Amino acid sequence: MKTHVQKWGNSLATRLPKSFAEELDLAEGSPVDMTLEEGAIVLKPDRGRVWDLETLLSGVTDENIHPAWGAGKASAPLDDVDPGDEP
């Protein structure tokens, strides 16, 4: 199949035909691994890169947590706020 390379922001892009995506079980947002091999671009589904919240949170430590996390407490718990109050 022949296609064209197009500008996409500061990068270049080409479209992945629907039939290729279906055969590889790829959808929007699917992780892929892209490499250069012997002058060719090789794109493979990255099935080993599945993220879930528990796995992501297990990597949070005191050393890598964002400083804004320690910004302080909210002024009032949500259950103490009257929905009719102005923000």
**Which structure tokens are listed for 86?**
């102005």
pLDDT of residue 47: 84
Q: How far is CA 59 from the centre of its chain?
A: 16
pLDDT of residue 40: 96
Closest CA to 46 of 57, 55, 36, 35: 35
Q: Give the pLDDT band (50/70/90) at residue 69.
A: confident
Contact 34, 43 (CB under 8 A): yes
Considering only residues 37 and 77, tell me which one the structure prediction assigns the higher pLDDT: 37
Give the SS3 label for residue 6: strand
pLDDT mean over 28-50: 90
**pLDDT score for 66:** 81
**Domain coordinates in residue numbering, the chain:** 1-61
CATH code given to domain 1-61: 2.10.260.10
> Which tokens sit at 22?
């279906």
- The amino acid present at 15, given as its one-letter code, is R
- What pLDDT is recorded for position 9? 94
pLDDT tops 80 at residue 19: yes
